[in-house]
Each structure stands twice: as C-alpha cells, then as structure tokens.
Structure 1
Amino acid sequence: MKTLDELKKLRDESLKKMTMRYQKDGFRVQVGMGTCGIASGARPILNAFLEQCEFHDLKNVTVTQVGCMGECAYEPMAEIIDESGQSYIYCALTIPMVRQIVERHIVNHQPITKYLLSERKDK
C-alpha cells in the first residue's frame, strides 16, 4: 500500500465482508469447516459464498463457518437456513454449484433439490 486511500479501500472491503458474516436476519449460510470439510476443499467454498453474496449485493445473508457436519463422505457441505428457519444441507459442493445455489436458492427462493444431502443419501 502506498496511499491512505488504498488503506481506506482495504478497510472498507474488509468491513463489508465482516458484516456479511454476522448479519442476524434473512438467510444463514453455514459452511462445514471441520477437519474433513477443510480437507475436502471447504475454504474455497466458503470464499465462493462470500464472493457470490457480495456480487449479488445481498444484505440479508450471513455467511459463516461451523465445525463438523457429521457426513464426511459428502463434504464439502453447507447448510442454508432461510428466513422461516427451514434448513437445507447441500453436499459435495463445487464453486459452480455455489453460484447456482446463491442465484436460485438465496436470490430466487428455489432450492436445488438434486444438490441436497437428503436427495443424494436416498440413492
């Protein structure tokens, strides 16, 4: 950094990301970051959720990390809890899947059933 303006810009970007992690209303996205989740690539998934929520300028979404989600074979996983408290657990996530989940489920309120843990475990 060479200028005060660059430092202020970095601060503003960081504050925006922190706000996204601690919003209390709307949707909650909880990415499993236990040992299995991290080993399966959960960190890029967490970052993809943060980036997509920022891209869509979503103010009603909390993105955070949680520990073990209890289904190691289906990692990386994320739980989405909507405004009504309904829980959806997405599994075997990839970055393109995260883009779809944010656009369809969070923005348009249309869960993607083929990505849900309950759908995949039944097969």
Structure 2
Amino acid sequence: MAAHNELGKEGELLAANHLQSEGYVIRHRNWRCGHKELDIVAEKDGTLVFVEVKTRKDVLFGLPEDAVTNGKIRRIVSSADAYLRKYAIDLPVRFDLITIVTGENGLPRLRHIEDAFYPPLY
C-alpha cells in the first residue's frame, strides 16, 4: 500500500479514537456505497455527525483543511444523503472535519472542527 494511503488510515484511526474518547459512538468507518464514501459516521447527543478526516505529514503544500473544496463538500453531502436514505435515519445532522498534521517530531496534532461546513444551497 502506498505511504499516503497508510498515513490516511493511521489518521482515520486517530480520529476515530479521539471521537470515542469524546463520547461519540462510531457507526461506520470508511462507509462506501457505489462511488460514494464517508470517512467516519458517528453519533453523539442525538446528532448524526459525518466526519471528514484530512491527514498530512507536514504543511509544506498547505493546510489539510484546504483540501476540503466546494466539490469535496458536495460529494460528502451527497454521500451523507445516500447514507441517511439507506438506513432511514431521521436525526439532526452535522458535518465535522478532523485535521491531523504530523510535524517534524513525529507527533500528530489533531484538530476537531465541529460544523466545519454546511450543505450548499441549490
């Protein structure tokens, strides 16, 4: 497996562990349905939370959150809609972002951004 894929898997594991330590229940990790995918689907306090995880080994090419473009947001929202329909879920929804940057010291810095974005208005 490519190094960037391994880094991404490690980041998603760190993110899931962080969420659980904060009282979230993980419903799914790496959920897929056709071409649609979600990194983490969690629940806390009656809210379903779709979490996008972005992991970088450094910020040489920009911050991890910069990779969450409008197109990426549209794909996440479309995937969330498919998830809600597939499981017939009727809960409030939130979209979070967890960024992880491993600095020169090798220690990851995790940042959890709640309500990182909202579904675009059509």
More helix by share: 1
Does the alignment reach a TM-score above 0.5?
no
Q: Tell me which structure has the larger Cα radius of gyration.
A: 1
More strand by share: 2
What TM-score do you get using the length of structure 2 for normalisation?
Answer: 0.33
* Relative contact order higher in (CA < 8 Å, ≥ 6 apart): 1
What TM-score do you get using the length of structure 1 for normalisation?
Answer: 0.33
